[in-house]
Amino acid sequence: MSKMADYEGPILEIDRLSISFFTRLREIPAVMDFSVRVMPGEAVGLVGESGCGKSTVALGVMQDLGKNGKVVGGSIKFKGRDLSEMSEEELRDVRGNEIAMIYQEPMASLNPAMKIGKQLMEVPMIHEGVSKEEAYSRALEVVTDVRLPDPERMLNSYPHQLSGGQQQRIVIAMALMSKPALLILDEPTTALDVTVEAAVVELVKDLGKKYGTSMLFISHNLGLVLETCDRLCVMYSGEAVERGSIEDVFDDMQHPYTQALFRSIPLPGADKNARPLVAIPGNFPLPHERPPGCNFGPRCDYFEEGRCDAQDIPMVNVHGFERHSTRCLKSEEIDWNAPITVGEQKEKAPIGEVVLKMDNLKKYYEVAANALFGGGETKVVKANETLSFEAHESETLAIVGESGCGKSTFAKVLMGLETATEGKILLDGGEIQDTAIQARDTKTVADVQMVFQNPFDTLNPSMTVGRQIMRALEIFGIGENEAGRRKRMLELLDLVKLPRAFADRMPRQLSGGQKQRVGIARAFAGGARIVVADEPVSALDVSVQAAVTDLLMEIQREEKTTLLFISHDLSIVRYLSDRVMVMYLGHVVEMGTTDQVFSPPYHPYTEALLSAVPIADTSVEKEHIVLEGDIPSAMNPPPGCPFQTRCRWKSEVPGGLCEKEVPPVRMLEGEHQVKCHLADDILARMTPVIKIAAE
Amino acid sequence: MEPLTWTGSFGSIIDPVFQLVGLLFIVAVAAQFIGAYVFAPINDEVHVDGTITRDRGANAIIGTAVRSLLLALCALAAIYIVAGVFAPIGKVGIIGAVAKQFAPVWIALVATFLLSISYKRRLGLYGKLFDSTVGMIGYALLMFWVYTALFVGVFDMIAVNDPLTQLSGMKNKLPGTPLRSVEEGQYAYYLLGGDNLARDVFSRMVHGSVVVILIAPLATLFAFMVGITLGLPAGYLGGKLDTFLSFLANLVLAFPVILLFYLLVTPEIVATGIPNYMAMILFVFPIIFFAVLLNSRFYTRPHLRNPLLAGVMLVMIWTYLCAISAEGTVINILPPTLDLFDIDSGILVVFVSVVFVNSPTVFRIVRGLVLDIHTRDYVAAAQTRGEGKWYIMLWEMLPNARGPLIVDFCLRIGYTTILLGTLGFFGLGLESESPNWGNTINDGRKLLAIYPHPALVPALSLLSLVLGLNLLADGLREESLRD
């Protein structure tokens, strides 16, 4: 089967597309009046929060809306042909052959029972009917192109034998097998770690250039879109609200939502006092409860009654720009360069006494090689290696690292779900490292609490919100009776700024951000003094992230809480933390105040992490560091320095010391400590990774 | 007296219509099947204003025809029933007379459906059931037998003769045969014929439903109690306990079920008291379950916990002692003045065997669900606030495993019903003259070639009940997955 004839003009042209889903109760419009054009070789980003309809657009292009979904208006033209007029056979030809799609979860796109090579070879064999040999050589070529080591071994392995990053590269390779004209990437890196994400993004960018493929890049991350795309389309609640080139939209935004979105994300280059986060007030409207007129109206600072909610707002071109349009009636009246009105700045509570002290904490797991009969040799997984630090009252200590670095194990040991192998944890001077949670007294348990990552998992779905908070109060022995606890529960809801009516709601009736607030209220039920926040905002939408972050900091100010903030997002870490601890494979590789960690000299891993974070600011210049390979398994760590397999500075250390010895902890100026063999003069030579270009 | 025909004088008008509609329906279904290959598929077109037009191809016309013919068939069937209920006996024949006997069931069914449908948005998962046709059909079939058992067992309605009385001259008589000599107050016909011992097939059938509806859900409930109480710790705590319990479950599952039953009901084995000891063990589980359930939830509030737990435990333990203790068996611990009821030894054996073979399967399902839910953050949250193990298992995990468990419960009642039939068929447990469906099918089997009706009637009843339960489970599964 051959490709469609070459076509001059846009590869993909979506014109006033409307898509609805039909449930038993009502029609739910998911996408309304959406238009976008993708020219040959162009990469267009589709940005928006979850539920804004960006994935629905992608499914619409694939004509795969399920039996509930229907295109109710407009057209999708691919190379000039309307996809809705194609027959099933023609569509099958187009999918995979002309349009390829890459999904968020790589494992879900690969057949676990089939070898990689066979899966790749299928694509040209089905679509083009080429011979087995040719298909194999093509597969080999593509796998080499996606920069996987040892391509022949890769082709001969099953998906589960590869790491997440390698799997996603294979998915990309599969999508490129048929040299499609259009590649749709639906959050392709969300499930990956930052350093791996950076490598995959770079790969996608290069391949796009090499193959001349047009791309539709769907993401919630503005920074990623900035790095990958030429043009950008911002969506809100089913509509495109602003469309234009990356530079136009980032630097001369013309829609209040775009502006609000930018103001709600922290930029690692910016100072938190000069540029505070501004959360978007209110909540994302449900698809069947959209307001009349402008969908963003109720949350917009520039809302004008009787005008913005009077009629449907059309998409209009912005004067003075080429191909830049916005869905705002007031775009020409608003002064887009007006400075952010900074709200009342509250003084941070002074940092107090040491509350928590970790001394040489180690946590090893023994894994039996043969689980069934318990025989064979046992392997030791060193999840935490000599962890030492102090945390003070009212301090935010950020723990940064990618998956497998041991931060969750550390949290477990601190909470008492596991006991330490060696070393000490001192809470107010008392040792708690060997006391499991059942053996701890109520006060200790109530003092150390946790806020969890996944808002959809953190609350028990079959209990009302109020009941769950009251249960925590009950366990912590707060309140004389039911009435007393109910009163306290309502106060806690006030504390996290939720309406009191939510007490009787079920968790499914709450949005992600609201659930996370309930989780915070529950953690503070017993007056917690140390709160471990395990990526509390990473699963939330950007506009909600700012609000939840602010809430956490505000509670911290009032309650003088010690916050251990576990995250991989360096932007937010820089925004809220006092001190930062960077972990890699169970080791603390760098620790110091935020300013010390974010400026040179860096540990080589910190340097790479900083470089990997996508930053949504066109004025920021980053040094480009891409780490090779994946994080080694904690079961089988490399000898010597844990980071030596991926370190770009390794050659600067004489005598192969990195491969032989674990580096000692070195004290630099202040309390800044680094675990690295690099000599002082080399550390001093390091330059800042993030530079802000002079305006 | 004349024997009744199937539809009586009423049928002479309506039967031809029914046959014609039925024939047309079969033709239409065949046409639909072929048409799907021959004609163009149906397309829905959505307009800008939100309306949808469906095109009028050949397939659309055939589809409409099938639907309306099916509706017509249902309407005709309803006419038979309504006419039967209101016309005098004999006017609408056997069908009419049977429909008349079931009159209280119809009324109860209609009332249930009217109430449920009008409040369906407020009834949670039960209400959603009424959005699914399959679920509604299943529910109707199930409730038909539940109401039948209720009216027969409690109010002694519906059945026309005693299920055990033999009347002379009625041996192997066909449906609709009148009695030889009708006494005062006696029903004049054997509506669905007589069996080989001259007993009324219709009455035995409706009486049989009582046995099934009583034992099947209760036995399933007990199996769930055992399975949940053991499956939760096995999945949550893991380790040696899990290995041991899983091995035990595999052992029970690996043993041939029928052989196990034969062993359990052998008089020698019964004499040793093994079924009684098994009952003693199996019936403890609900007590453990509720004791742990209440204690783990309310231990922080002793003022509430103490009276609550004491009250519940008193009632449960007394019931337990009444249930296991019976005169003449190995376990006779309760003095007769306190022993409120005795369980018939045959029923006890059946009950115990059914619970015993069902609980390992439930155990495995619960264990699997727990392993899945174990990784959720809300479980970790409960752990980090120092909750007890049993609170986490029973209050944090179990409610969130309810969806699959409810579906399995419905399916399992179906299996249990079949199991009861099988047991009866082999004459295990219940006395041979008991009207339960398994026994009657076995009785009727001997003369199946000449007189099929004594076996066919209970067989169809069993089929409809199990079908109903399976459809209900399907409907529940589908509806719980939607939205």
List the Cα angle A131/A135/A140 in 5-degree steps. 150
- CA A459 to chain B, closest CA, distance in angstroms equals 5
Residues B222 and B371 in one domain: yes
- CA B379 to chain A, closest CA, distance in angstroms equals 8
% of chain B with per-residue pLDDT over 70: 96
Residues B409 and B290 in one domain: yes
Between CA B384 and CA B388 the distance in angstroms is 11
Question: Does the residue A610 lie in any domain?
Answer: yes
Give A695's pLDDT tier (boundaries 50, 70, 90): very low
CA A387 to chain centre: 26
Enter the tokens of residue A116.
């990689």
- The predicted complex's ipTM stands at 0.79
Which one of B121, B298, B304, B377 would you mutate to disrupt binding with A, by most A Cβ within 10 Å of its Cβ? B377
Between CA B360 and CA B224 the distance in angstroms is 9
Residue A347 has pLDDT above 50, yes or no: yes
Residues A61 and A182 in one domain: yes
Contact A462 B131 (CB under 8 A): no
What integer pLDDT is reported at residue B443 of this predicted model?
Answer: 85
What dihedral do alpha carbons A652, A658, A662, A667 form, nearest 10°?
0
Cβ contacts of B380 on chain A, cutoff 8 Å: 417, 450, 452
Contact A70 B46 (CB under 8 A): yes
Residues A567 and A607 in one domain: no
Q: Which contacts (CB < 8 Å, 24+ apart) does range B84-89 have?
A: B87/B10, B89/B188, B89/B189
List strand residue ranges (DSSP E) for A428-521, in order.
Answer: 430-431, 448-451
Residues A145 and A59 in one domain: yes
Q: What is the mean pLDDT of chain A?
A: 82
What integer pLDDT is reported at residue A274 of this predicted model?
Answer: 61
CA distances from B187 to B200, B201, B206 (A): 11, 14, 15
What integer pLDDT is reported at residue B167 of this predicted model?
Answer: 84
Residues B230 and B360 in one domain: yes
Residues A76 and A159 in one domain: yes
pLDDT digits (tens, 9 = 90+) for A498-552: 888 888 888 888 888 888 899 999 988 888 889 998 888 877 877 788 888 888 8
Which one of A443, A471, A480, A534 would you mutate to disrupt binding with B, by most B Cβ within 10 Å of its Cβ? A471
Of B417, B437, B457, which residue is a domain's last? B437
Residue of B nearest to A507 (CA): B378
What integer pLDDT is reported at residue A1 of this predicted model?
Answer: 44
What integer pLDDT is reported at residue B104 of this predicted model?
Answer: 92
Buried b (16+ CB within 10 A) or exposed e, A91-106: eebbbbbbbbbbbbbb
Question: Does the residue B163 lie in any domain?
Answer: no
Contact B399 A445 (CB under 8 A): no
Question: Does the residue B22 lie in any domain?
Answer: yes
Residues A445 and A553 in one domain: yes
Residue of B nearest to A534 (CA): B377
What integer pLDDT is reported at residue A4 of this predicted model?
Answer: 60
Enter the tokens of residue B78.
């309803």
Q: Closest CB to A24: pick one of B50, B131, B387.
A: B131
Residues B224 and B81 in one domain: no
**B386 has a chain A CB within 8 A of its CB:** yes
Q: What is the pTM of this model?
A: 0.81
Residues A170 and A301 in one domain: no
Q: Centre a 10 Å sphere on the Cβ of residue B133 and count the other Cβ atoms it contains.
A: 10
Contact A452 B400 (CB under 8 A): no
Question: Does the residue B388 lie in any domain?
Answer: yes
Residues A429 and A573 in one domain: yes
Question: Does the residue A532 lie in any domain?
Answer: yes
pLDDT digits (tens, 9 = 90+) for B2-50: 788 888 888 888 889 999 999 999 999 999 889 888 877 766 666 655 5
- The answer to whether B468 touches B145, Cβ cutoff 8 Å, is yes
- CA B396 to chain A, closest CA, distance in angstroms equals 7
Q: Centre a 10 Å sphere on the Cβ of residue A538 and count the other Cβ atoms it contains.
A: 15
CA distances from B210 to B84, B156, B204, B339, B409 (A): 24, 11, 10, 24, 19
Contact B386 A526 (CB under 8 A): no
Enter the tokens of residue A627.
């780490």
Enter the tokens of residue A319.
């004067």
Which one of B54, B240, B298, B378 would you mutate to disrupt binding with A, by most A Cβ within 10 Å of its Cβ? B378
Which one of B42, B44, B385 would you mutate to disrupt binding with A, by most A Cβ within 10 Å of its Cβ? B385
Residues B409 and B279 in one domain: yes
Contact B385 A472 (CB under 8 A): yes
pLDDT digits (tens, 9 = 90+) for A564-607: 998 877 888 888 888 999 888 888 888 888 888 888 788 888 88
Q: What is the mean pLDDT of chain B?
A: 87
Question: Does the residue B216 lie in any domain?
Answer: yes
pLDDT digits (tens, 9 = 90+) for A216-259: 988 888 888 888 888 889 888 888 888 888 888 888 888 888 88
Contact B386 A70 (CB under 8 A): no
What integer pLDDT is reported at residue A342 of this predicted model?
Answer: 62
Residue of A nearest to B479 (CA): A24
Contact A449 B387 (CB under 8 A): no
Question: Does the residue A500 lie in any domain?
Answer: no
Cβ contacts of B50 on chain A, cutoff 8 Å: 27, 72
Of B101, B125, B148, which residue is a domain's last? B101
Amino acid identity, position A512 = G
Of A291, A326, A347, which residue is a domain's last? A347
Question: Does the residue A485 lie in any domain?
Answer: no
What integer pLDDT is reported at residue B335 of this predicted model?
Answer: 80
Contact A417 B383 (CB under 8 A): yes
pLDDT digits (tens, 9 = 90+) for A76-127: 888 888 888 888 888 888 887 888 888 878 888 888 898 988 888 888 888 8
Contact A458 B381 (CB under 8 A): yes
Residues A285 and A369 in one domain: no
Cβ contacts of B381 on chain A, cutoff 8 Å: 450, 452, 458, 519, 522
Q: Centre a 10 Å sphere on the Cβ of residue B431 and count the other Cβ atoms it contains.
A: 11
Cβ contacts of B385 on chain A, cutoff 8 Å: 445-446, 449, 472, 475-476, 522, 526
Of A553, A577, A601, which residue is a domain's last? A577
Cβ contacts of A27 on chain B, cutoff 8 Å: 50
Give A5's pLDDT tier (boundaries 50, 70, 90): low
Enter the tokens of residue B206.
């409706």
Contact A460 B378 (CB under 8 A): yes
pLDDT digits (tens, 9 = 90+) for A404-453: 788 888 888 888 888 888 888 888 878 888 888 888 888 888 888 988 88
**B53 has a chain A CB within 8 A of its CB:** no
| Domain coverage including residue A554 | 353-464+508-577
Question: Does the residue A672 lie in any domain?
Answer: yes
**B445 has a chain A CB within 8 A of its CB:** no
pLDDT digits (tens, 9 = 90+) for B157-200: 888 888 888 888 888 888 888 888 777 778 888 888 888 888 88
- The answer to whether A576 touches A531, Cβ cutoff 8 Å, is no
% of chain B with per-residue pLDDT over 90: 37
Residues B358 and B222 in one domain: yes
Residues B286 and B403 in one domain: yes
**A410 has a chain B CB within 8 A of its CB:** no
- The answer to whether A632 touches A640, Cβ cutoff 8 Å, is no
Residues A45 and A189 in one domain: yes
- Provide the chain A residues 425-464 that lie in CB contact (below 8 A) with chain B: 437-438, 440, 442, 445-446, 448-450, 452-454, 457-463
Of A530, A547, A577, which residue is a domain's last? A577
Contacting residues for B153 by C-beta, under 8 A, at least 6 apart: B210, B213, B214
Question: Does the residue B274 lie in any domain?
Answer: yes
Residue B151 has pLDDT above 50, yes or no: yes
Of B422, B437, B452, which residue is a domain's last? B437
Which helix (DSSP H) or strand (DSSP E) does residue B18 occupy?
helix B8-38
Amino acid identity, position A587 = H
- Provide the chain B residues 359-378 that lie in CB contact (below 8 A) with chain A: 376-378
Residues A368 and A452 in one domain: yes
Between CA B43 and CA A71 the distance in angstroms is 13
Cβ contacts of A437 on chain B, cutoff 8 Å: 383-384, 386
Contacting residues for B422 by C-beta, under 8 A, at least 6 apart: B258, B438
Question: Does the residue A32 lie in any domain?
Answer: yes
% of chain A with per-residue pLDDT over 90: 3
Residue A672 has pLDDT above 90, yes or no: no
Distance linking the first and last C-alpha atoms of chain B: 60
- The answer to whether A461 touches B400, Cβ cutoff 8 Å, is yes
Question: Does the residue B178 lie in any domain?
Answer: no
Between CA B44 and CA A68 the distance in angstroms is 12
**B43 has a chain A CB within 8 A of its CB:** no
Which one of A70, A72, A535 would you mutate to disrupt binding with B, by most B Cβ within 10 Å of its Cβ? A72
Q: Closest CB to A454: pick one of B46, B377, B483.
A: B377
Residues linked to residue A426 through DSSP beta bridges, in sequence order: A357, A431
Domain count for chain A: 4
Residue A462 has pLDDT above 60, yes or no: yes
pLDDT digits (tens, 9 = 90+) for A293-327: 888 888 888 888 888 887 888 888 887 777 888 88
Q: Closest CB to A417: pick one of B301, B384, B483.
A: B384
**B300 has a chain A CB within 8 A of its CB:** yes
Cβ contacts of A463 on chain B, cutoff 8 Å: 395, 399
Residues A393 and A331 in one domain: no
- CA A368 to chain B, closest CA, distance in angstroms equals 13
Q: What is the mean pLDDT of residues A27-42?
A: 86
**B239 has a chain A CB within 8 A of its CB:** no
Give A381's pLDDT tier (boundaries 50, 70, 90): confident
| Domain coverage including residue B247 | 206-437
Between CA B397 and CA A389 the distance in angstroms is 36
Task: Collapse the DSSP code of A647 into the 3-class scheme (helix H, G, I; strand E, B; otherwise coil) and give the result.
Answer: coil
Domain count for chain B: 2
What integer pLDDT is reported at residue B245 of this predicted model?
Answer: 95
What integer pLDDT is reported at residue B143 of this predicted model?
Answer: 94
Question: Does the residue A542 lie in any domain?
Answer: yes
Contact B396 A472 (CB under 8 A): no
Question: Does the residue A303 lie in any domain?
Answer: yes
Between A634 and B453, name the one with better pLDDT: B453
Residues A91 and A216 in one domain: yes
CA-nearest of A285, A274, A242, A239 to A261 is: A242
Contact A452 B380 (CB under 8 A): yes
